[in-house]
Amino acid sequence: MGDKSVQKKQYIIDVAAKVFAEKGYKNVTMKDVVDACDISRGGLYLYYESTTELFIDVMKSQFESREDFTELISDDATAADILLLFLQEEKKELFRKKGNLNRAYYEFYFDLRPSKGDNVYKKEFDSNVKMICKLIEIGVESGEFVCDDPLTAALNIVYVLEGMKTTALTLGVSPDSFDRQILYILQSLGVDA
Amino acid sequence: MGDKSVQKKQYIIDVAAKVFAEKGYKNVTMKDVVDACDISRGGLYLYYESTTELFIDVMKSQFESREDFTELISDDATAADILLLFLQEEKKELFRKKGNLNRAYYEFYFDLRPSKGDNVYKKEFDSNVKMICKLIEIGVESGEFVCDDPLTAALNIVYVLEGMKTTALTLGVSPDSFDRQILYILQSLGVDA
Amino acid sequence: MGDKSVQKKQYIIDVAAKVFAEKGYKNVTMKDVVDACDISRGGLYLYYESTTELFIDVMKSQFESREDFTELISDDATAADILLLFLQEEKKELFRKKGNLNRAYYEFYFDLRPSKGDNVYKKEFDSNVKMICKLIEIGVESGEFVCDDPLTAALNIVYVLEGMKTTALTLGVSPDSFDRQILYILQSLGVDA
Amino acid sequence: MGDKSVQKKQYIIDVAAKVFAEKGYKNVTMKDVVDACDISRGGLYLYYESTTELFIDVMKSQFESREDFTELISDDATAADILLLFLQEEKKELFRKKGNLNRAYYEFYFDLRPSKGDNVYKKEFDSNVKMICKLIEIGVESGEFVCDDPLTAALNIVYVLEGMKTTALTLGVSPDSFDRQILYILQSLGVDA
DNA sequence: CATGAATGAGAGTTCATTCAT
DNA sequence: GATGAATGAACTCTCATTCAT
């Protein structure tokens, strides 16, 4: 597959991302993608056999562009600062215009749990947990945080975020409510806010 | 619609619940239900026009059979006891054999957010928040719990539960992990555990 | 079939007439009639096996109530007077509120041409032709009309009426236009108008 | 849609015309057309969404091939000659083997009266009226015809033709009877025949 | 007689997928 | 590589018609 093909593949991925953001995973047909990309039916099949295959590449493309918060750990910023930064980043993602891919992610993994090889979502999840866990450990050491079980606390934070993500998709969540949860999380770690 | 029809309707609801538990919401076709119920194509349409309509009744039927924990509040049980009971009930629900309807719930509300009249899921969600909030207030009063903002704390608990539900559907959650979250929640409320 | 049944049958015919007037013949299903009559599905089948059978009775019922213009021929009225009366009656029928059954008649006979025994429409058609023919003959004799071939003239009048009926159903016909045709018809018969 | 598709579309139109001629408009299903064309179920939907859409194209195709009688007006032919020619053309059309599309036209417009944009039938109707009207005016000027109100006379002729068309579909009309009407029409215009 | 639940045939429609060009 | 016409499987939905009560 030459350079031109790589470019076309990326083009398809980018357009498909918008389609999935708008309609979720299960509602998207190959036809939808064909129409959105303005290519031929057969043309899409040269690159992707199914929406599943295509969505996996969309996810990879998305997660590649995520910031690594571990790198921000330094003398300039406290653990609490970075945690706050991370949570605010998540907030921004959740409320960003034009929809995010959350719905599509959920629908995809609901369908596919006994999963194909590389579970991108799991990587992201685990890496977040690990990163937060590390932050908490650092915070505990520096006296910012109080926490017996950093791993459970980290998981707790990730679960809260997951919970807000899904609730945002079903019943709706307000930015204020999100802020109050951030505060509550920090307080639970012993931060005076 | 006579008595017999009411029975048949309930029969359909019960069979459909199993189908939805197994396949989620979006994957279920009227034909699936027809086959599972062993009735005729047209027969199902006498009772339900669409899987949407049918699923709404399945949800109603499910939520009707839920226990009301508010009623358990009494002199015999402390707030912490009841909260623990509630959380363990949720755990049981999450890990129950043959699958629960969680996946179907999510898929349904992802599709339908700007929702029709009576949002059963919202009712359940709100009633849980309210109940937990009340428990926390009682616990604070009795000195069991320490909490500035019971409503946010209650929401936090519900979000954690939601997060574990969805994660159970995507990446999996172990009973042990669930238990550790219960502990963490109680600790965050100032309970020595 | 007892008195009660006869009444019920007539009730069905009357209600069905309205349904056919509204929707034509081909668009009406047994279900439509059942719904309009507010009787049971099986109930209707006790009286009628099909919309065809039912429509035949509706037609009979309609034509029974038509006036016989031949009877009006007398010393009091000239042939031209009676012909005018007849044409005005047809006009009234065509423009009557709530729709007439014309559309249904056409759709019915289009479907059924190689016809079942008793063709009610043919009877009506022929009887009109005969009646008009007779009127013209009388008019010719009395000097009111000039006409070589009364039968062809009578047929011509009936065709014009048919043409206006169908055109009313497709493109629309105005009452004024109908009036001008009446005039033209009379002029063609040599009447100064 | 390439050249090949245009050919196929025309093929479908031609086959469908036969089907509509045979069964009328309301009795034709997409499946009937599919079977007659010997293409796949989905194949037809590539070109037409419904029998309605298809029938509209069939009509357009039919009317495109109609002769324009106005062009025949010249020194060589008298108005009466051309009118006669037109009426005989109509006769040929009515009695042509394998059925014409009249029944389908009527059924179509009965269903659709408050009509979509371009009413092909109305165009044909109006153009016929206009053409005949012009012929009569020319005939009156040349002394062939006697007529006070050419427009009404033209409409009269068109109504008679419509009447015979529908009657042909319901009760039947003989060629002789048609001829007698032609004569009557010409006599009404003052032609000695 | 009357009811209305139940059946099943059949039409409509959409898409994943293939394949000749 | 790329196109887009074509296929056929699968689903939705509606009714005429039957039949136990």
Asked if D23 is an interface residue toward chain C (Cβ–Cβ < 8 A), one would say no
D125 close to C (CB below 8 A): yes
Residue C75 has pLDDT above 70, yes or no: no
**What pLDDT score was predicted for residue A137?**
96
Contact C125, D171 (CB under 8 A): yes
Q: Which domains are seen in chain C, by residue range?
A: 3-61 (1.10.10.60), 66-188 (1.10.357)
Residue A187: what residue type? Q
Token pair recorded at residue C150: 């009364």
pLDDT tens for each residue of B89-113: 999 999 987 778 999 999 999 988 6
Rounded CA separation C90/C175 (Å):
11
Rounded distance between C-alpha atoms, residue C193 and residue D9, angstroms: 54
Q: What is the pLDDT of residue A115?
A: 57
- Give the residue carrying structure tokens 């398809």: A12
pLDDT, one tens digit per residue, over D136-150 is: 999 999 999 999 999
Greater confidence, D18 or C112? D18
D193 band by pLDDT with thresholds 50, 70 and 90: low
DSSP 8-state code for residue A105: H
Q: What is the pTM of this model?
A: 0.88
Least confident segment among A31-45, A85-99, B164-178, D144-158 = A85-99
The shares of helix, strand and coil residues in chain A, as percent rounded to the nearest 5, are 75, 0, 25
- Could you read off the pLDDT of B45-71 as tens digits, one per residue? 999 999 999 999 999 998 887 777 777
List pLDDT tens digits, range C97-123: 777 899 999 999 998 765 554 688 888
Per-residue pLDDT at B114 exceeds 70? no
By percentage, how much of chain A surpasses pLDDT 70? 92
Distance CA(A105)–CA(C49), nearest Å, equals 56
Instruction: Answer for the pair B143, B80: CB distance below 8 angstroms, yes or no.
Output: no
Closest-approach residue (CA) in chain D for C172: D113
Nucleotide in closest CA–C1' contact with C47: E1
Helix C150-170 vs helix C79-94: crossing angle, to nearest 10:
20
CA-closest candidate to residue B82, choices B131, B118, B40: B131
Euclidean distance between CA atoms A54 and A11, whole angstroms: 12
- The nucleotides of chain E lying under 7 Å from a protein CB are 1-20
Residue B77 predicted with pLDDT over 60: yes
Predicted confidence at residue A75, as pLDDT, reads: 67
What confidence score (pLDDT) does residue C24 get? 94
How far apart are the C-alpha atoms of A186 and A84, rounded to whole Å?
Answer: 8
Mean pLDDT value across chain B: 91
- Stretch 25-84 of chain B: residues touching chain A, C-beta under 8 Å: 26-27
Q: pLDDT grade, residue D96 (50/70/90)?
A: confident
Q: How far apart are CA B44 and CA B40, in angstroms?
A: 7
Q: How far is A159 from chain B (nearest CA, A)?
A: 4
User: For residue A173, which of A95, A106, A104, A102 has the smallest C-alpha distance?
Assistant: A95
Q: What is the mean pLDDT of chain A?
A: 90
Q: Tell me the per-residue pLDDT of A114-162, one tens digit each, with 9 for 90 and over.
A: 555 468 888 899 999 999 999 999 999 999 999 999 999 999 999 999 9
% of chain C at pLDDT higher than 70: 91
**pLDDT given at position C119:** 80
